[in-house]
Structure 1
């Protein structure tokens, strides 16, 4: 789905992009990144289309979404407790003996 088409469905649902992101506990910037590619991932396209159709038919999609326990996504690359990074920095000793056993310690 193109980003323009996504915006149309979100608008039919009476939402802004920020409102859509908040409702499904997603980072708004992630949706804005879709605009650059002019392509929305299919799972978000389906959600937006269903919300737009439900709103057109007078179905309260907000109460349906509210009943779903949605965990907020961690940012990409986030480690434990939502912090970025991998292993903590440690000092490297480049002048150590260059034996196979030393390299595996």
Structure 2
């Protein structure tokens, strides 16, 4: 599905990109970035198509989605904090109590 068709389906559903992104737990920028791609990922295309069809048949998809506990996705590149006792590579820091001395 092209981004243009994706937007058309959102329009049928009465949704803006911002509203859609909130419903599916994404940021609006993550959704609009697909405008530069040849197609929207299939899982988003399916959701948009179903929402458009449901709205066209007077089915309230918002009520159906209200029961879901959708957690926002963690942005790509977001780092998971390591424990302070670990070195950046995951190993143990090896620091001597004597100033300037290192053990390898």
Find the counterpart in structure 1 of residue 79 from structure 2.
Answer: 79
Find the counterpart in structure 2 of residue 94 from structure 1.
Answer: none
For residues 17-36 of structure 1, the aligned pairs below 5 Å read 17-36=17-36
- Could you tell me the TM-score, scaled by structure 1's length? 0.74
For residues 1-105 of structure 1, the aligned pairs below 5 Å read 1-80=1-80, 87=88, 105=104
Q: Tell me, in whole angstroms, the C-alpha distance in 1 between the residues paired with 2:39 and 2:31.
A: 10
Q: Is the 8 A contact 1:4 1:38 kept in 2?
A: no
Q: What is the aligned residue count?
A: 85
**What are structure 1's unaligned runs of at least 5 residues?**
82-86, 89-101
**Displaced runs of 4+ in structure 1, greater than 3 A?**
none
Higher helix share: 1
- Could you tell me the TM-score, scaled by structure 2's length? 0.75
**What are structure 2's unaligned runs of at least 5 residues?**
82-87, 90-102
Alignment root-mean-square deviation, CA: 1.8
